[in-house]
Copies of this chain bind each other. A is one copy, B any other.
Amino acid sequence: MDFSSFVTSLGTSLIIFVVLMLAFTWLNRKPGNAVIYYPNRILRGLDPLEGRTVTRNPLAWIKEAVKASEADVIAVAGVDAAVYLVFLSSVLAILVFSGIILLPVLLPVAATDNGTQSTTDSNSQGTFKNLDKLTMGHIQESSSRLWAFLLGVYWVSFVTYYVLWKSYTHVSDLRAGAKTSAVVKPEEFAVLVRDIPAAPPGQSMKDHVDSYFRALHPETFYKSMVVTDNKKANKIWEEIEGYRKKLARAEVVYAESKTTGKPEGTRPTNKTGFLGLVGPKVDTIDHCNEKIQELLPKLEAEQNITLKEKQQGAALVFFCSKPAAVSASQTIHAQKIDTWTMMEAPEPRQVLWTNLSKKFYEREIRSLIVYGIVFLTVCFYMIPIAFVSAFTTMENLKKYLPFLKKIVDQPEIKTVLEAYLPQIALLVFMALLPTLLMFLSKEEGIPSESHAVRAASGKYFYFIVFNVFLGVTIGGTLYASLKEIIKKPSQIITLLGSSLPKSATFFLTYVALKFFVGYGLELSRLVPLIIFHLKKKFLCKTEAEVKEAWAPSDFGYATRFPNDMLIVTIVLCYSVIAPIIIPFGVVYFGLGWLVARNQALKVYVPRYESNGRMWPHIHTRIVAALIVYQITMLGYIGILRKFYYATFMIPVIAISFIFAYVCKQRFYLAFFHTPLEVACQGTKEIPNMESIYAAYIPPCLSTEKLQDVDQFEDAHSHSLRTTSL
């Protein structure tokens, strides 16, 4: 890629961004689009237009994003969103502090060196001079100017330690603050108990659990809810819900048909067979009503059976006070510690019910299998990416697809293609993966949605770093080099060091594409907007259906964090080799912070709240990226630039490990468990335990009739109304 194609790429990205911003400013103001641009505010019952008509400024959203306080963000979007913003601002701070020193120092040091032109260190074959002059590749071998770059690594490292320490402390406080809030959260009074051994003969699981906890926590135990196998009940319940939706839709259709010519209207009909295409024709309204009437007693019967006979070896145990629940969740209960395993209960909305009853060793085996599959996926995905990145150079395209020659040889198309082809190939590959990883993570037997998201996010991170970063950097040579690496593992440092500079411009373009086009699309929400309008026009009949069409998603941390982490890794690794990447990183995270604030305040609705539980993982990964960076620099400066003082880099690598260890010791467990100090600080008054208990009843088991099932074998609680505190 030569310099002009780099500028073209930046230019087109910028134009797309400006267009999207203008589209956003224009679309944003139409009241019909409010549900797309302000769904969060609408769902909270606020006026989406409030304070909007006065400004026609396309940058008004920036002012609003900056003005909001962190407390506002937490109130609207939860601690998780606030932690995501802390992540963005931390990285921003690291890059700004690094850039303040590195840019004015390293660029002149590199530019004024009149050393031999080492053209091999760049893929530009001498045509990319202007940028090349500003990189470390321009410095003579063994030059004492390399000291500046070595000290640059130290500066970046210490800035990172400082910022990360501050951020970890801040996030830790945020988490403690959220846990001490006066709002009663059901999960704070509940403990999830798994691996319950079989009940003694003649006793139901429910009684078994009750008697166990009543004996161990005589004063604080409230009651228990044994997890049941709801599969069948759930199926019936979903069937009923399906018919209800159909009924509502048919009634609207019928009502609409009335207003036109015929006052009696036409009753909608459908066929009962496969996909409504075959089978006898029936009146939809009557048919749905019949079906619902038919299924309701069935559901009730199934509910009874489920509660009585399908009790599983897991339970939610409720305690009368937060400290009691916290203590219980951290205390080993049984002498055989693979039974009665305790943990803090997840929020009701994010419990993965079917995973709860999976046994201890089953979970371990599932995890092992999933790791195996992920490992294979990482290796398997590497092949097409390496192939694409080797194939999509202009020369190869012309060589293998000669019929493209004419198109490709036109200078404009050539430039654009050259600039974007590899990146687009990459993005397409990436889009296919998250669903698979999320599915795999849930299969591990994880009890909550947020935990599954964390697990998927970790997998995605490893995937993306190995495949995109290493894949692109080492590229086609990786498989050839693999033999070499296995023979001599230290080879990887040399290989990475020598391959990095070659890919500098690729990653510069990648980062620019990501922030201009990525954030442009994110902010303008063009895709959800178009889908919503299409759905509203052609599909939706009832109010509920319209609402479903615009219902906003959440942040999607499973892919958002790893994608940002990839940029962190890239920018860190190039920060000293080609400091010119730092401003790109600053723009990425600065713009990212603004956009994310806007989306948090106005658009996304969190599906769960994990109180920043993601942070320790993010922290560890940033430190890991830092260590990769330091090791790469050791290899690059020491072996390729033949600067033997590079051994001075080894202490800073050791410091990184110590930093990671100290942070883990100081902060991690407080993210894993709730400290007693925090649990005791909250409100002291006893909340309505009944409503806390009811929050965990799955919808397919909750009917008004259920409360009459005041029987002995009931998996939920027979003391539903008898016991009261």
- Listed in ascending order, the chain A residues whose CB lies under 8 Å from chain B are 172-173, 176, 215-216, 323, 326-328, 330-338, 340, 360-361, 364, 662, 665-670, 673-678, 680
Contact = CB atoms under 8 A, between A and B. Distances in A.
B330 A216 contact: no
Nearest to A215: B680
B680 A360 contact: no
A453 B666 CA distance: 28
A676 B330 contact: no
A176 B332 CA distance: 13
Contacts of A327: 327-328, 331
Given A216-B680, A665-B360, A331 B326 contact: yes
A104 B326 CA distance: 59
B172 A335 contact: yes
Contacts of A332: 330, 669-670, 673-676
A508 B323 CA distance: 60
A675 B360 CA distance: 18
Contacts of A335: 172-173, 176, 670, 675, 677-678
6 contacts: A172-B336, A173-B335, A216-B676, A332-B676, A335-B677, A336-B670
Closest 9 CB pairs of A and B: A337-B669, A332-B675, A338-B666, A327-B327, A330-B331, A333-B676, A176-B335, A327-B331, A335-B675
A331 B676 contact: yes
Contacts of A667: 336-337
Q: Which of A327, A330, A668 has the most CB of B within 10 A?
A: A327
A665 B360 CA distance: 9
Contacts of A215: 680
A161 to B, nearest CB: 16
Contacts of A336: 172, 666-667, 670
Contacts of A337: 665-670, 675
A352 to B, nearest CB: 22
Contacts of A360: 665
A680 B328 CA distance: 13
A582 to B, nearest CB: 33
A326 B680 CA distance: 18
Nearest to A342: B676
A677 B323 contact: no
Given A331-B327, A333-B677, A675-B332, A361 B662 contact: yes
A301 B118 CA distance: 79
Q: Which of A328, A361, A665, A677 has the most CB of B within 10 A?
A: A677
Contacts of A677: 216, 333-335, 340
A505 B487 CA distance: 39
A326 B666 CA distance: 23
Nearest to A333: B676
A665 B216 CA distance: 22
Contacts of A674: 332
A680 B332 CA distance: 12
Contact of A323 (B216, B330, B334, B666): B216
A340 B666 CA distance: 11
Given A326-B331, A337-B668, A360-B665, 7 more contacts: A215-B680, A216-B323, A331-B673, A331-B676, A332-B673, A332-B675, A361-B662
Contacts of A173: 335
A333 B96 CA distance: 37
A188 B335 CA distance: 16
A229 to B, nearest CB: 25
A342 to B, nearest CB: 9
A549 to B, nearest CB: 43
A360 B665 CA distance: 9
Nearest to A175: B335
A680 B211 CA distance: 13
Contacts of A668: 337
Q: Which of A323, A328, A364, A675 has the most CB of B within 10 A?
A: A675
Contacts of A670: 332, 334-337
Contacts of A665: 337-338, 360-361, 364
A283 to B, nearest CB: 60
A122 B565 CA distance: 60
A334 B675 contact: yes
Contacts of A675: 332-335, 337
Contacts of A323: 216
Contact of A331 (B331, B334, B666): B331
A335 B674 CA distance: 8
A330 B674 CA distance: 12
Q: Which of A326, A360, A666, A669 has the most CB of B within 10 A?
A: A666
Contacts of A172: 335-336
A411 to B, nearest CB: 55
Nearest to A180: B335
A326 B331 CA distance: 8
A338 B661 CA distance: 12
A330 B333 contact: no
A335 B333 CA distance: 23
A446 B124 CA distance: 61
A195 B216 CA distance: 30
Contacts of A330: 330-332
Contacts of A673: 331-332
A725 B669 CA distance: 34
Contacts of A176: 335
A660 to B, nearest CB: 13
A149 B630 CA distance: 51
A329 to B, nearest CB: 9
